[in-house]
Amino acid sequence: MVNIHVMAEGNQRKTLEERSQMTDVERLRHSTAHVLATAIAKIWPEAQFAAGPPVENGFYYDVELNHRISPDDFEAIEKEMTIVVKENQKFERIDVSRDEALELAKSGRLGALGERDIESTFKIDLLNDIPEEEEISIYKNGDFWDLCAGPHVPRTGNCKAFKLMSVASAFYKGDANNPQLQRIYGTAFKNKTQLNEYLEQLEEAKKRDHRKVGKELGLFHFDESVGQGLVLWKPKGSIIRNELQKFISNELDKKGYSQVFTPHIGKLDLYRTSGHFPYYEESQFSPIVDRDSMQKLADEGCTCGELSNKLKEGETDGFLLKPMNCPHHIKIFSSEHRSYRDLPVRLAEFGTVYRWEKSGELGGLTRVRSFTQDDAHLFCTDDQVQDEIMGCLDLVKVVLNTLGIEDYRVRVGLRDADSNKYVGDPQNWDRAENALREAASSLEVPFTEESGEAAFYGPKIDFVVKDVIGREWQLGTVQVDYNLPERFDLNYIGPDNKPHRPVMIHRAPFGSLERFVAVLIEHFEGSFPTWLAPEQVRILPISEKFTIPAEERLNELLEVGARASMDNSAEKIGAKIRLAQLDKVPYMLIIGANEVETNTISVRHRSRGDIGSLSPEEFINNFQDEVRNRAL
């Protein structure tokens, strides 16, 4: 099961059947892509077009062109598009033979307004990709002819509500070895009203962007001089992170996990054994070579290339910033003689790992170079795999339910039957895949099974959510691993008094705290539930006359562990409320003459507004209940 979005963005050919299933709006968007191409061909007749499919919220067309299209060009392009729409050209389908199509492409006629003295290079290539048995068709609108299987709307006049969104680069057919094309993204709707609604939605979504909210609320900071993708958690963000850790840690204690601590680095040999080095060298920080070895190499006049080889071949030793926690945990497991009676062993750690992500991939808290996984490794027998997976999913469920996250999808990554790249006994794979499938169905959440999506070492379940701009991010994951126990020669003594190989399960219900916090910020729009809110209560004295009674209330709150503060500024109450609202503080307590006289506090909630007056004891009781229950 692969969804349409993935199909459209991937570069696999759509089958005719899939094309016939195109929704009305997809058809419209695909047609608008042709209108875009027509406009570009008018302005730059030499443009070479590749593919122009509909995508989730619009369409794009890939074009090769010496002129660098920038957003400044959009106005002119849109103007030409409007003309094409106004001319209300008919989209006309013409079936042609392969030879006819090829001839047209060779005379530059495809993706163009007329014959040219250049070939339609990409169209020729695309033509060659069309299977023998498939019909070949040309679509014409006005003088613009294009190789296209369709379908299209009847006339260009149907494409009246569109907007060009952005320009980016894309490799032809998604292959980095192919030429880089300019990809122009646009969106289109049935009418202007729907288009405007969509654009407004986009604006609304941007307000929730965790990077924006995180800055406004002072949760985290990235500093140029610290480095790309390296998060500085500010005090308020650290509170959220700590609360999440306390929460999960508490759950781990209930579920029979043992929490451990391990260092952030390990010897290269460790990662040679695990296979991370040099197999995943590209995505790791370079090794740290110890001082003496470095000096010795320098004295020998060793070049960087030679050093790299020596490291790979194990002639020179060094340390690696850990890209994963598993090797360390494995060493804890293997540090003792294990009996089957000890299993499962569940080792958990909030483990910080380091990965050398390419600079262009980094962004906000969702993709960073140093992040902390709520990681654990379970060592169990084959018979225990099913139960352990269920236990892991229970934990993920508790986490997501507690935080009210419902908008996620579950992906079961299975092996590709035709491939032999997988390690481990096929029978065990079958069992593990069945166990994962069964576990996933027990979630009562839609899930997709995707073959070929397994890791080479075992099948997995991923929990995937979308961010405000519609990008998908993997959060929690549960993965079965047959590889590392083998590589590290792990064993336990079975009832038969013989050594047996344990199975490992990697799991992280949050994935990484960084990415998870990003998702939470966007989910709550910065208005965190009280138990997570960096500042839970703010006392607002009506005037400075009431500082002393207000301070008493503040101290009572601090006494019971509330994160509370007082706004004692010379502002009027309206201004103080406004500030507290902007800071998204859940509770505002107003103290003035009335409250002092009756020994009450007036409570205002950031979203429920004025709640009325309560006795201080009543408020504290309610507050503590809310925090204890992690109410949403």
Cβ distance to RNA smaller for residue 104 or 577: 577
Question: Does the annotation count 506 as an active-site position?
Answer: yes
Using CB under 7 A, which residues numbered 246 to 265 contact RNA?
A: none
CA 158 to CA 191: how far, in whole Å? 9
Cis amide bond preceding 151, omega within 30: yes
Q: Residue from 268, 577, 585, 620 that binds RNA (CB under 7 A)?
A: 577
Q: Alpha helix locations (H) across 87-164? A: 98-106, 121-129
Site for RNA contains 175 (CB under 7 A):
yes
At closest approach, how far in Å is the CB of 109 from RNA? Answer: 27
Site for RNA contains 372 (CB under 7 A):
no
Question: Does the annotation count 221 as an active-site position?
Answer: no
CA dihedral 154, 158, 162, 168 (to 10 degrees): 10
Q: Residue from 79, 90, 93, 572 that binds RNA (CB under 7 A)?
A: 572
CA 245 to CA 233: how far, in whole Å? 14
Using CB under 7 A, which residues numbered 130 to 169 contact RNA?
A: 166-169
- List 148, 159, 326, 392, catalytic entry: 326
Cβ distance to RNA smaller for residue 113 or 455: 455
**∠ CA 432-438-439 to the nearest 5 degrees?**
90
- List 89, 284, 373, 479, catalytic entry: 373
Please count the residues of this chain forming the interface with RNA, following the rule CB under 7 A.
Answer: 74
Stretch near RNA under the rule CB under 7 A, chosen from 226-234, 246-254, 334-342, 530-538? 226-234
Q: 609: left (phi > 0), else alpha (psi -120 to 50), else beta?
A: left
- Using alpha carbons, select from 529, 535, 528, 564 the residue that is nearest to residue 210: 528
- Using alpha carbons, select from 84, 8, 19, 7 the residue that is nearest to residue 53: 8
Cβ distance to RNA smaller for residue 193 or 228: 228
Secondary structure E strands in 527-567: 537-541, 564-566
Site for RNA contains 471 (CB under 7 A):
yes
Question: Does the annotation count 5 as an active-site position?
Answer: no
C-alpha distances in angstroms, 261 versus 251, 336, 477?
18, 17, 21
- List 173, 183, 377, 576, catalytic entry: 377
Question: Does the annotation count 346 as an active-site position?
Answer: no
Stretch near RNA under the rule CB under 7 A, chosen from 105-113, 293-301, 363-371, 485-493? 363-371
CA 374 to CA 509: how far, in whole Å? 7
Site for RNA contains 519 (CB under 7 A):
no
Is residue 414 within 8 Å of 461, Cβ to Cβ? Answer: no
Q: Which amino acid is at 62?
A: D
Question: Does the annotation count 377 as an active-site position?
Answer: yes
Site for RNA contains 355 (CB under 7 A):
yes
Question: Does the annotation count 210 as an active-site position?
Answer: no
Is residue 448 within 8 Å of 412, Cβ to Cβ? Answer: yes
In the shown chain, the binding pattern of residues 527 to 556 toward RNA, with x for contact by CB under 7 A and - for none, equals: ---------------xxxx-----------
In the shown chain, the binding pattern of residues 306 to 345 toward RNA, with x for contact by CB under 7 A and - for none, equals: -----------------xx---------------------
Q: 187: left (phi > 0), else alpha (psi -120 to 50), else beta?
A: beta
**∠ CA 375-381-385 to the nearest 5 degrees?**
60
Question: Does the annotation count 500 as an active-site position?
Answer: no
Site for RNA contains 291 (CB under 7 A):
no
Q: Residue from 1, 2, 3, 9 that binds RNA (CB under 7 A)?
A: 9
Site for RNA contains 364 (CB under 7 A):
yes
Which run of H or E residues covers position 267? strand 265-267
Q: Angle formed by the axes of helices 616-628 and 547-559, to 10°?
A: 40
Q: Alpha helix locations (H) across 404-504? A: 426-441, 483-487
Using CB under 7 A, which residues numbered 28 to 87 contact RNA?
A: 68, 70-71
DSSP 3-state assignment of 604? strand
Q: Residue from 298, 558, 593, 631 that binds RNA (CB under 7 A)?
A: 593
Stretch near RNA under the rule CB under 7 A, chosen from 42-50, 444-452, 490-498, 564-572? 564-572
At closest approach, how far in Å is the CB of 324 from RNA? Answer: 5
Cβ distance to RNA smaller for residue 63 or 85: 63
- Which residues does the annotation mark as catalytic? 326, 355, 373, 375, 377, 460, 506
